[in-house]
Chain A
């Protein structure tokens, strides 16, 4: 059980490689889906809010160190996103997280929080347009990430773990 809880950190490296090597080919007007966030949300729904918060912090930290973004920015946003996703956690669903209806909802909401908080941290401007903040920088990346999560849901095997 303990090893299972370390697994997302192991999975993080290949997911990050896909994020920086393959995902850029699918950018739309500079917007790309966030695979790391999907990973964080998945494990938050699997193991709970507290676990997700710590995982978001760790993975966000590694992300900041690896990609050259402002140190602490992804740490902050992934931690907060995991906290939000944690409200979708339900003990009875832990065996089939990816097929649960909560998964896409959690990804969508966590994505919005992730994108908006990231913009606020890195680009806080008193003249910031609320529409731009919510729509361009919050909603569009969230929709794209949720669509990708939906594709993962569709493609994932249908076997039941319960």
Chain B
């Protein structure tokens, strides 16, 4: 007994460290469990409530209402311009077709960023709008410049946004000129489209937008431009570095695109956000 006590006295810091690290690893492995997510939504909503109270007293710009209107108009114009660009390119490609249906209607919900959590791997924002305004997980979040991220979860009055600079953010994108598609993701330091075939005709400066085949962002939102093409000597694939249009760190006001879900598509595709609510 004395030996055990001696060992404990001598190494208790190590025992406690290992024990707590194991618990942490257990939490990491259970991070996506529905019950854990519900608990996180509750605690996040509570903290966001406190944050919103204090964020109101921080320096705010004047002419708030006019600014909000102008930003909304700007965001709508951005979406319209992008849609028109798409139609222009599609018209060339599909000139033999008689017409195309416009199946997309954008409803924009304005929101303010009330807190930001920065890290090189997981940048998240908290918005002052939630389920009360019809915001649901998976909805796209944009500014006048382009896509900011997606709604990760929402409580009654607040939403948590997974930005482009989040390791778990992945979206199907395409080169607006060459139409090549790939999966965009954040590496911790760069926004990258990886494993594009070397035969893809992507050029520096090409505009990258979200692809219609994405299971949760089915509209063409601007992402950024091609900054660098990494062409390794070996293998069959290139990596493409993207410079985002939106400066994520400087975003203060955003719009949530409340798009009617594409039921047929969602029922066919494996949708991460549907499985979340099962």
Measuring CB to CB, which residues of chain A are less than 8 angstroms from any residue of chain B?
13, 16-17, 20-24, 27, 30-32, 49-50, 53-54, 57, 60-61, 64-73, 75-76, 79-80, 83, 86, 115, 118-119, 121-123, 125, 132, 136-137, 141
Q: Restricting to B3-27, which residues have a CB under 8 Å from any CB of A?
A: 12-13, 16-17, 20-21, 23-27
Closest Cβ of chain A to B48, distance in Å, is 9
When C-beta atoms are compared, the residue in chain A nearest to B31 turns out to be A71
Across the interface, do A123 and B54 meet the contact criterion of CB distance under 8 Å? no
When C-beta atoms are compared, the residue in chain B nearest to A76 turns out to be B24
Residues of A within 8 A of B31 (CB): 70-72
Q: Which 8 A-B pairs have the closest CB atoms?
A: A72-B27, A72-B28, A76-B24, A20-B115, A67-B117, A66-B47, A75-B24, A65-B43
Is there a chain A Cβ closer than 8 Å to B266's Cβ?
no
A72–B43 Cα distance when bound, in Å, is 15
Most buried by A among B20, B27, B51: B20
A71–B31 Cα distance when bound, in Å, is 5
Across the interface, do A73 and B28 meet the contact criterion of CB distance under 8 Å? yes
Q: Restricting to B216-241, which residues have a CB under 8 Å from any CB of A?
A: none
A50-B13, A70-B168 known; 8 new pairs, CB 8 Å cut-off, are A53-B20, A67-B44, A71-B27, A71-B31, A79-B21, A80-B21, A119-B121, A132-B188
Given known pairs A76-B25, A119-B120, the reply for A137 and B40 (CB within 8 Å) is: no
A49–B162 Cα distance when bound, in Å, is 35
When C-beta atoms are compared, the residue in chain B nearest to A75 turns out to be B24
Across the interface, do B115 and A21 meet the contact criterion of CB distance under 8 Å? yes
A72–B26 Cα distance when bound, in Å, is 8
Residues of A within 8 A of B44 (CB): 65-68
Is there a chain A Cβ closer than 8 Å to B50's Cβ?
yes
Across the interface, do B24 and A79 meet the contact criterion of CB distance under 8 Å? yes
Q: Which of B36, B119, B126 interacts with A71 by CB under 8 Å?
A: B36
Closest Cβ of chain A to B57, distance in Å, is 10
Bitwise, B44-80 to A at CB < 8 A (1) or not (0) is 1001001100110010000000000000000000000
Is there a chain A Cβ closer than 8 Å to B175's Cβ?
no
Bitwise, B116-157 to A at CB < 8 A (1) or not (0) is 111111111010000000000000000000000000110000
A38–B24 Cα distance when bound, in Å, is 20
Is there a chain A Cβ closer than 8 Å to B264's Cβ?
no
Closest Cβ of chain A to B22, distance in Å, is 10
Across the interface, do B17 and A122 meet the contact criterion of CB distance under 8 Å? no
Across the interface, do B20 and A54 meet the contact criterion of CB distance under 8 Å? yes
Is there a chain A Cβ closer than 8 Å to B177's Cβ?
no
Residues of B within 8 A of A57 (CB): 20, 23-24
A62–B141 Cα distance when bound, in Å, is 26
Is there a chain A Cβ closer than 8 Å to B167's Cβ?
yes
